[in-house]
Amino acid sequence: LTAKGLEMPETARANRRQAVDELKRTLILEAARRVFEMHGLEGASLRAIAKEAGYTAGAIYFHFPSKEAIYAALLTESLDRLCAAVAAAIAGVGNPADRLRATALAFFRFYAGQPHHLALGFYLFQGGIKPRGLTPDLNQPLNAKLVASLAPIATAAAAMGAAPEPARAILAGVFAHAVGLLLLQHTGRIRLFGCTAEPLMQDYLDGVIARLQG
Amino acid sequence: LTAKGLEMPETARANRRQAVDELKRTLILEAARRVFEMHGLEGASLRAIAKEAGYTAGAIYFHFPSKEAIYAALLTESLDRLCAAVAAAIAGVGNPADRLRATALAFFRFYAGQPHHLALGFYLFQGGIKPRGLTPDLNQPLNAKLVASLAPIATAAAAMGAAPEPARAILAGVFAHAVGLLLLQHTGRIRLFGCTAEPLMQDYLDGVIARLQG
Amino acid sequence: LTAKGLEMPETARANRRQAVDELKRTLILEAARRVFEMHGLEGASLRAIAKEAGYTAGAIYFHFPSKEAIYAALLTESLDRLCAAVAAAIAGVGNPADRLRATALAFFRFYAGQPHHLALGFYLFQGGIKPRGLTPDLNQPLNAKLVASLAPIATAAAAMGAAPEPARAILAGVFAHAVGLLLLQHTGRIRLFGCTAEPLMQDYLDGVIARLQG
Amino acid sequence: LTAKGLEMPETARANRRQAVDELKRTLILEAARRVFEMHGLEGASLRAIAKEAGYTAGAIYFHFPSKEAIYAALLTESLDRLCAAVAAAIAGVGNPADRLRATALAFFRFYAGQPHHLALGFYLFQGGIKPRGLTPDLNQPLNAKLVASLAPIATAAAAMGAAPEPARAILAGVFAHAVGLLLLQHTGRIRLFGCTAEPLMQDYLDGVIARLQG
DNA sequence: TATGAATGAGTATTCATTCAT
DNA sequence: TATGAATGAATACTCATTCAT
């Protein structure tokens, strides 16, 4: 076992170790997501997650410092997927109005079609993550991701002639409207009004775009 | 202590007892509300509520049959206050457009100014997802109250010429927008967009009303 | 309100009060018996008994000093009924062998046909009544009643020529056999042996009587 | 620490772990038995058992899935010992009459000398009444063990010429008589009759055997 | 790394009993 | 006598977390 013939062995080993680590973390997160989907927020105990991942509860602590950290990681990943979904939706869309609509709809549909991501988001919003888990250190990048996912809306609005402040107001309004409709749909209460969510979202976007254009 | 005063002593005693009972129930509910605000959904255990109210855990059961019954009472009262707030806001407002706006703003402000009612409302919404104790028997009247509080919006829209279905869509849109903005405000995330919630709500209502009138 | 015309008013009032008292005690005991039968030993909480009797839990304590005292009273009454049943069965039966059989069968059938009396008896036997409830003061008369109910067996055996000690042994044997069979029947385990209880009891008595006569 | 000793280290460790686990289970069961004896059925709470075993209540759940599982294990073991005791008693006993007597006496003495097993057995019998956790899945093998322990009686009776049905009746009778006497002895009430239990059992068996032979 | 035992605090609810009214 | 509120201890069971191995 000479140094010869072994190109950067320590680094290689470290890399491999890191890769394995990453993989295991991912497996645990996927298990968590499954438990989350199947049994909801309350049923997602550390033990349940560990079991689903094929681990003992104690073993989880080698990969995550706490239960809340798992939620945080889940949420981070969720928002990354959201960003990716939006990016994919507006790739190649040149017209600003179309970009605005595409962004908003991608956001809406991402959550409408994947209720567990929505639940995760609301969990964050309602302060479900305890102080120890949701430090400002974590909170800020999460917020940044959220804003980034919808940023094309402001950009598009600006491209359509809106000043910076109104552009941000448009962004906030779209976000609020989408969130409100998603909540209504997710809880089944939209039935109370005899509507479905997506057409209402489309209507709202029609109005926003019309005003920008008119 | 005239003979007159002694005329119905039993009834008087019963009344007093009933009043005391009512008071104690109220004290417990207020304690529950405080715990709810301070420690959130999960932290609002029966023990915590009892302690906050100055009671033993077991003593609560003389006033409420279960923990969920406390939540239910809290929610019911909250929605009753919401209805009252809306009713007060539109009393004497004759013009349909004004009634629409007044209703929506009363709803918005009720929750914007009283975050604990908002938290309670979201609990209902999440309870809707996983009805853990929130039985349909209870859920339905709560939904009815919620819808009733906003009904004047649909009525006003109809008075302004909207057909029944669009009128309900307007109702749903207003509700969704308000809820979305409230969530943004409640979680402090509206700052991310450099906006404040109420002007955005006003803007939205302007648009709704303009479209109805135009 | 002179003393005249009111013959022994204090005594009369006391009598009436005592009678009312006795009646209420009886009503409570009957309620207890019903609860006992319906919900079994474990389900027979003081509250349940009180409710069944139309009382509040606290009110019971004016009539019985403790929950165990109710069980004790129930058991006392149960044994009184047992004695009465046996007495009725052997009334007018002159032949000693017939008296022996009649006594044993009356005992057996009393419990076979009224499982709750059996459960009550076993509860006593297994020490279900706590020290505070089953004092020697109480235990002794209960034992005495039990022995008394079966005493005609020993008497009959003596009349058939058995010495005192063997007569008591016969008594004990009959009691043990009956109890064993009743337990088997009550728990449904007699099915395991493909038998029914009463014929086995008859067989046993046949043997006992044959030996006494032979 | 020879190489040989290291040959199967994992297996060795697993074995040791399993042995330790078994031991701990046994310690808990013994604690349970002690609590059971001292405080009776109702007093044998999980907490009490855990405390007696030197554990926290929650720790028990690493060794038994529920309280009832502890009872079940206790009962199973008790009946296994009973079977073993009977088997030992009749080993090498060839004569049918002797085998019958040996079986019955072994059964009788097993319980007469170990009152806690008796209490356990009665729990089974009462559990049979109200199957609170004693599921049929469990109940059946327990019944089977019980029957198996006494089966040599029926076999012996058959060998002595009894038809199948009478043989089972003899089995049932012996069981009932033994149980009745054990109950009398266990509760001290046999003194009321001025007898001791075992001679009465012997007498009964004398009669049974005599009748089979006569 | 991973296990599995252990802890200690926690869950909602029930209970017999007491006591002011 | 009776009520109804109150207590304090009890119930089985779950949880996130720690730690020796």
Give the tens place of pLDDT for each residue, C99-137. 999 999 999 999 999 988 988 888 777 666 665 566 777
What percent of chain A shows pLDDT beyond 90?
Answer: 70
Token pair of B170 as six digits: 């307007």
Mean pLDDT estimate for chain C: 90
What percent of chain D shows pLDDT beyond 90?
Answer: 67
Local confidence band at C2 (pLDDT 50, 70, 90 cut-offs): very low
Query: What b/e readout covers A41-63, taking b as 16+ CB neighbours within 10 angstroms?
Result: beebebebbbebbebeeeebeeb
Across the range D128-148, mean pLDDT stands at 71
Query: What b/e readout covers D19-54, taking b as 16+ CB neighbours within 10 angstroms?
Result: eeeeeeeeebbebbbbbbeeeebeebebebbbebbe
Across the range C161-177, mean pLDDT stands at 97
User: For A142 and E6, how far is CA from C1' in angstroms?
Assistant: 37
Token pair of C67 as six digits: 């929950």
Local confidence band at A2 (pLDDT 50, 70, 90 cut-offs): very low
Local confidence band at D1 (pLDDT 50, 70, 90 cut-offs): very low
**So what's the pLDDT on residue C7?**
59
pLDDT tens column, B115-168 = 889 888 887 766 533 444 566 777 788 889 999 999 999 999 999 999 999 999
CB B176 to CB A183 under 8 A?
Answer: yes
**So what's the pLDDT on residue D3?**
44
pLDDT tops 70 at residue C18: yes
Across the range B181-201, mean pLDDT stands at 93
Residue D132 and residue D185 in contact, taking contact as beta carbons nearer than 8 Å: no
D66: left (phi over 0), alpha (psi -120 to 50) or beta: beta
CB C193 to CB D177 under 8 A?
Answer: no
Across the range C69-91, mean pLDDT stands at 95
CB B176 to CB A173 under 8 A?
Answer: no
Local confidence band at D130 (pLDDT 50, 70, 90 cut-offs): very low
The sign of the torsion formed by the CA atoms of C126, C132, C133, C137 equals: positive
CB B40 to CB A126 under 8 A?
Answer: yes
Across the range D69-80, mean pLDDT stands at 93
**So what's the pLDDT on residue C128?**
60
User: For B171 and E12, how far is CA from C1' in angstroms?
Assistant: 40
Give contacts of A179 with chain B, Cβ < 8 Å.
179-180, 183-184
**So what's the pLDDT on residue D26?**
95
**So what's the pLDDT on residue A179?**
96
pLDDT tops 80 at residue A133: no
Instruction: State the Cα–Cα distance between residues D169 and D181, nearest whole angstrom.
Output: 18
Indicate the residue of C122, C176, C190 with minimum beta-carbon distance to D200: C176
CB D172 to CB C200 under 8 A?
Answer: yes
Residue C78 and residue C190 in contact, taking contact as beta carbons nearer than 8 Å: no
Local confidence band at C25 (pLDDT 50, 70, 90 cut-offs): very high
D2: left (phi over 0), alpha (psi -120 to 50) or beta: beta
**So what's the pLDDT on residue A124?**
73
CB D203 to CB C169 under 8 A?
Answer: yes
pLDDT tops 80 at residue D212: yes
pLDDT tops 90 at residue D89: yes
Give contacts of C125 with chain D, Cβ < 8 Å.
183, 187, 189
Kindly list the residues of chain C whose beta carbon comes within 8 Å of any beta carbon in chain D: 40-42, 119, 122, 125-128, 143, 146-147, 165, 168-169, 171-173, 175-181, 183-184, 186-190, 192-195, 200, 203-204, 207, 211
Instruction: State the Cα–Cα distance between residues C186 and D129, nearest whole angstrom.
Output: 7
Indicate the residue of C122, C143, C190 with minimum beta-carbon distance to D172: C190
pLDDT tops 70 at residue D7: no
**So what's the pLDDT on residue D43?**
80
Local confidence band at A42 (pLDDT 50, 70, 90 cut-offs): confident
pLDDT tops 90 at residue B112: yes
Local confidence band at B4 (pLDDT 50, 70, 90 cut-offs): very low
Contacts of C167 (CB under 8 A, 6+ apart): C154, C155, C157, C158
**So what's the pLDDT on residue D8?**
55
Local confidence band at A134 (pLDDT 50, 70, 90 cut-offs): low
What percent of chain C shows pLDDT beyond 90?
Answer: 69
Across the range A113-137, mean pLDDT stands at 75
Token pair of B208 as six digits: 């709704």
Task: Give helix B9-43 / helix B67-90 axis angle, nearest 10°.
Answer: 100
Residue D194 and residue C165 in contact, taking contact as beta carbons nearer than 8 Å: yes
Mean pLDDT estimate for chain B: 89
Instruction: State the Cα–Cα distance between residues D130 and B132, nearest whole angstrom.
Output: 30
pLDDT tops 80 at residue C4: no
Contacts of B101 (CB under 8 A, 6+ apart): B205, B209
Residue A117 and residue A78 in contact, taking contact as beta carbons nearer than 8 Å: yes
Token pair of D108 as six digits: 């009788």
- Which of A85-89, A169-173, D49-53, D127-131 is predicted with the least confidence, judged by mean pLDDT? D127-131
Kindly list the residues of chain D whose beta carbon comes within 8 Å of any beta carbon in chain C: 40-42, 119, 122, 125-126, 128-130, 132, 143, 146-147, 165, 168-169, 171-173, 175-181, 183-184, 187, 189-190, 192-195, 199-200, 203-204, 207, 211
Q: What is the per-residue DSSP string for A55-88?
A: --HHHHTTT-SSHHHHHHHHHHHHHHHHHHHHHH
**So what's the pLDDT on residue A136?**
74
Residue B182 and residue B108 in contact, taking contact as beta carbons nearer than 8 Å: yes
**So what's the pLDDT on residue C129?**
60
Indicate the residue of C40, C147, C189 with minimum beta-carbon distance to D130: C40
Where helices occur in B54-135 by DSSP H, the ranges are 57-60, 67-90, 96-113, 115-129
**So what's the pLDDT on residue C139?**
81
pLDDT tens column, D103-117 = 999 999 999 999 889
Across the range B82-89, mean pLDDT stands at 98
**So what's the pLDDT on residue C166?**
96
Contacts of D114 (CB under 8 A, 6+ apart): none
pLDDT tops 70 at residue D71: yes
Under DSSP, the state recorded for B56 is: -
Chains touching D (3+ CB pairs < 8 Å): C
Chains touching A (3+ CB pairs < 8 Å): B
Instruction: State the Cα–Cα distance between residues B86 and B67, nearest whole angstrom.
Output: 29
Token pair of C50 as six digits: 């009180």
Chain centre to alpha carbon of residue B16: 29
Mean pLDDT estimate for chain D: 88
